[in-house]
Amino acid sequence: MKRQIEYQFRVRELMARAGMRNSRDLVEPLRDRGVTLSESQIYRLVSQDPERISFQVLAALCDIFRVEAGELLTFTASDVQARRPRTAVGQNSDVPLLEAYRPVRARIRPAEDD
């Protein structure tokens, strides 16, 4: 059974609790902890759920907000039902839909002289 994992990166919420109003407020605290990111990188980190994050940045954010990683990043996992492949109903048996609609190869013949 497949599992689907959804996560929330709660930096914006923690920034609000700490009284930080915009992403530029994180530039100096991150630099103090040895993390140098541009303002646009920090903005994307705050406004979007990152797909990848370095442990150095994660640890620095946890230190800035004085929280554990589990408070900064929350996730839920749920079981996903496997879908049956779509099939087209044939005369003898069910045929997978992609195979039922495959194009026929065209034959190009030389022109005949009249």
**Domain edges within the chain:** 2-80
Please give the chain's pLDDT, 114 residues, in tens. Answer: 788 888 888 899 999 999 999 989 999 999 999 999 999 999 998 988 888 899 999 999 999 999 999 898 888 888 877 766 665 555 555 656 666 666 778 888 888 876
* Count of residues in the chain: 114
Of the candidates 35, 38, 30, 41, the one whose C-alpha atom is nearest the C-alpha of residue 64 is 30
List the CATH code of the domain at 2-80.
1.10.260.40
Q: Is 51 exposed, middle or buried (0-12, 13-18, 19+ CB in 10 A)?
A: exposed
pTM of the entire structure?
0.63
